[in-house]
Amino acid sequence: MTLSVINSKIEHAEKSSSRAIGSTQLIAVSKVQPNERVLNVLKQGHTVFGENKVQEAIEKWEEIKKKNSEIKLHMIGKLQTNKVKFIQPITKLIHGVDSEKLLMEINKQATKNNSISNILLQIYIAQEESKFGLDENELTGILEKYSNGNYSNVRIKGLMGMASFTADETQIQKEFKSLADFFQKLKNNKTGVSTGLVEWTELSMGMSGDYLIAAELGATLVRVGSAIYGPRH
């Protein structure tokens, strides 16, 4: 499927739910895709990409970024604390921050590099043990510390979530809606949690199989791979 077709589908999803056109940013997830496929997407003018694995991201994007300095790389996969030092300097946004331990390490590496890391807090919404994320109590604890000045080299931009891997669209809609509603409550400061320092600009949800549902329900970022590139090599 071409980028233009996917973007048209996203626009239609936005219209169907009365969202402003352009509210949803497409992230082209290039996991295990050969460089020539990635470069083809880049040639079409798309500059926002996502990677799941740290080693692949380092090897691939060090070379590709030489061709276009406008590339914005998002880390969207499960991130281990011992890999943060490698990925922190090269990413615009880290999506899957699913523990305070990981958040502390990102802040540590950003401080070492005299930089700021933009991150999303991953919330557990799926009915699957294989998925990760913070529960409400863990989120509250992080936000309270953040509002008190902790993690000064991190900027929390919003939330990220992964729906259950299922063909049941009703379940997917339910999970995405619960995350979108919670995001809006945090954004509008209606949870009782101090979130004054958080900008709440980004809600990352939806992949190749469910990105249109996510776009309808309020995602600002959708993570799409196989729908763009075709089957992985």
Q: Tell me the C-alpha distance between 109 and 115, whole Å.
A: 9
Instruction: Find, among 105, 101, 112, the residue nearest to 83 by Cα.
Output: 105
pLDDT band at 113 (very low <50, low <70, confident <90, very high): very high
Coil, strand or helix at 215 = helix
- Longest Cα pair distance anywhere in the chain, in angstroms? 49
What pLDDT is stored for residue 195 in this prediction?
65
Contact present, 186 and 200 (Cβ < 8 Å) = yes
Q: Span 201-213, mean pLDDT?
A: 96
- Give me 193's structure tokens: 């949690």
Q: Is the sign of the CA dihedral 214, 218, 223, 229 positive or negative?
A: positive
Number of folded domains in the chain? 1
What pLDDT is stored for residue 199 in this prediction?
84
Write out the residue range of the structural domain in which residue 164 sits: 3-229
CATH number at residue 13: 3.20.20.10
Q: Span 91-100, mean pLDDT?
A: 96
Looking at per-residue confidence, does 37 or 26 come out higher? 26
What pLDDT is stored for residue 232 in this prediction?
62
pLDDT band at 34 (very low <50, low <70, confident <90, very high): confident
Q: Tell me the C-alpha distance between 222 and 10, whole Å.
A: 9
